[in-house]
Structures are given as structure tokens and as C-alpha cells.
Amino acid sequence: MKQFEVPAFYRSPLLSQIKAQRKLADPRKKDFSPSKLQVGKFTFIIARHFGFCYGVENAIERSYKALQENPGKRIFLLSQMIHNPAVNEDLINNGIKFLQDTNGNQLIPFTELRPDDIILIPAFGTTIAIEQKLTQLGLDIQKYNTTCPFVEKVWNRSEKLGETQHTIIIHGKHDHEETRATFSHAVLNGPALIVKDMSEARYLGEYILGHRTAAELKSFFSGKISEGFEPEQHLTKIGVVNQTTMLASETQAITDYLRSCFIELHGQENIKMHMADTRDTLCYATNDNQSATLGLLQEEADFAVVVGGYNSSNTSHLVELLEQKFPTYYIKDASEIDQNSLRHFDFHHKEMKHTEQFVPHKEQIQVVLTSGASCPDSILEQVMMKILGSNYTQIELENLLSKLT
């Protein structure tokens, strides 16, 4: 795996050593059990995989290279590089300006751009329409295009599905940058439809099985289907791809459910005529982080802390998994912790909450800890230190690695 040049202040010497020890002991990533680090009365139960993934590190490296290689030039990011406020704030502080917000609303008109400006495409990619608009303005959109290779893999698979006359079913959030980009690329190759979750997949399945009309389906998925979509024609042969930050297990469950609908209609022996095998589009990093989170669920703990941006899809799914068992707090960084109280994000209701005495009064305290794919390890370490609320120094913490289990 390539080693990226990411600014040192994103790194954590402590957590880097933990990751290095696990990689040495388990190079093939077969063991998803967590690491454990005891510090005084606290035992931190740390996910086997957490933090920056390949696509995020690639995007960050190329963003800082753009700054180094283009002194004096205006540098623009199409939208947030990744869904982490600390990373985006640092890029802004270094002079990079954002053209759009995460919803695609224009912050700086494209008409203000000049051909010699530097444009960075974020890790999520962008739509065909925006690519064409920037190119028409004479801008080079490829030199610093940081689209994640695994997102591009989904686009390539969508192209192949279109070539074989499959309709492309996208498991994703229709208003998320990545899904907007994937939908844009998919419709170049064939009809496409977006399903957010199993509930929407079941509505689709009800149509396939003849329990919904075409008019009902088109109304229900309004804004989530390609132009000219005709259910009677386009829902006889499908393939499922996903927004790479969705729960991989849910993508697979949706695929399995839709497959069962076609088997019910046409029989197991004919399934390949109606359903493509698209398991190869699932992102390995998302899979690893989610499998590591399932490993955390095998443990006992007093509470869990998940660190990441509040608009981060992959982080919210880690929270979704952990809250099945633990009191789970979703925070963006250590600033949300104030002694024994904390502010945390309720992603179900999109609101901040405040909890007093989140650390129980016990002789021994077990804390589950993980972070999203766009969260720097340095932020996770700062959260750990804030939870400790003590005077442990960096050197003292690193010495505790001998107790790592």
C-alpha cells in the first residue's frame, strides 16, 4: 500500500504505533478484534481499523502539493475536500477557497474563475455537468483531481452495467456529493435509480413483484431516477452499486433482497439474466472500518465515542452500529468535551445534545473508541487525552504501549 505524505500535525505518534503493531501482527487483516490500552483506571478499546483511508490520504496529499507547487496562484476547491471540519479549515487557512458547499450551492460563481486558476476536485468526485462547465472555462480539472479510486471503480462498474443493458441501482443518499457524482456518471451509460435504505429498496421490490404501479414508483422516487425512466422497461435487469461510505452490510442486504424478488418471479436458474453480480464495487476501507466496528460490539464497555465530521456519512454509520449496544457519543473533536460533560451530535435528528457526567464514577472504566475515514489520528488522540482529564504526557502515553493487548 502506498505511503502518503500527509502533514505531520494530522498524525498521532501513539496511534501510529498501535496501527503499526497490529499491521505487523496481522498483515492480511484477518483479525478484527480491537486493541486495548490501559491508562490508569481507563481501558481504551480501540477499533482495529479507524481514521484516514486510502482515498482521504490521497486527497489530502494532493491538496497540499497543489499549495506547494503553485505559490501566488489562486487555488479553489470545488467543495469540501472531505467531511472533516479540521481538515477543511486548515486548507482554508492556507488560502484555498471553496466554490460550493456540500449541497452544491454556489459560494463563488464559476464566472469569476480564470484559466490560470488551480482547481481541486474533492475525493467524492463531481458531476459530468460541472466537469464540462469548468473545462469550458479553460480550467485544468485533471492535474489536481483527487477523486477516490474506489469511487471511480463504482463509475467504471456502472459503465459496464450500462453496456450490458442493466439498469443501475445506486445505494446512497441522493443529496450526498458522491452519490450526485455517481448518478451523473451512471446516467451516461443507462437508466439509473437511487435507493437510500432497505425501506426504499422494499418499495422498489414491491413494484418488481407487481404490488405497485409504475406511476406510484415514479412518484415515490421523484428526483432519484434518470430522465425518461420507464419502470416496465427498465426494471427487468438490474445491477446494484453504492455510495462507498454507506454500510456495506446494508448494500449487500439490499442486493440480496432484490435478487430474491427476481428469483421469486423468474426462478433461481434464470437469476443471471436479471441481476448482475456487483460485489466487487464495495470499498475495502469502508468494509474494514465497519468490520472493525462489529469487532467492538463483541466487547463490554461503559460507553463509546466516535470521532468525525457531523456531515460524514461513513462516520454516522459507525455510530449507528455502536449505539446498538453502548451509550454512544458522536463528536467532531476534543473541544466538545468539558471535564465530565460533552456536546455530541444526534445524527438521527440532526441536532446537538449535551450530556453531563458521561464518564461513570467507577474504579475501572471501559471506553470504546473509533473514528471515521476522514478524521485525522491526531484528533482521536486529543479526544483520548481529554477523556483522561489528567496530566499524562505524550512520552508517558507512548510508554504505555508495552501494555497494549
Q: Active-site residues: which are they?
A: 178
> What distance in Å separates the CA atoms of residue 229 and residue 233, rounded to the nearest whole number?
8
Q: Quote the crossing angle between the two packed helices 198-208 and 248-266, to the nearest 10°.
A: 10
**Is residue 11 left, alpha or beta, with left meaning phi > 0 and alpha meaning psi from -120 to 50?**
beta
The grid coordinates of residue 35 equal 486493541
DSSP 190-223: S-EEEE-SHHHHHHHHHHHTTSS-HHHHHHHTTT
Check: CB of residue 331 under 8 Å from CB of residue 303. Answer: no
Element of type H or E holding 98: strand 97-98
> What distance in Å separates the CA atoms of residue 41 and residue 285, rounded to the nearest whole number?
32
> What distance in Å separates the CA atoms of residue 326 and residue 204, rounded to the nearest whole number?
33
Torsion sign over Cα 115, 118, 123, 124 = negative
The grid coordinates of residue 9 equal 500535525
Q: Which of 170, 78, 65 is nearest to 119 (CA)?
A: 78
- List Cβ neighbours of 226 (8 Å cut-off, separation of 6 or more): 183, 186, 187, 191, 192, 193
Geometric angle at alpha carbon 61, from 57 and 67, rounded to 5°: 150
Return the bridge partners of 305, or none: 329, 369
The grid coordinates of residue 270 equal 434464470
Check: CB of residue 50 under 8 Å from CB of residue 368. Answer: no
The grid coordinates of residue 388 equal 483522561
The terminus-to-terminus CA distance of the chain in angstroms comes to 25
Residue with cell 459496464: 160
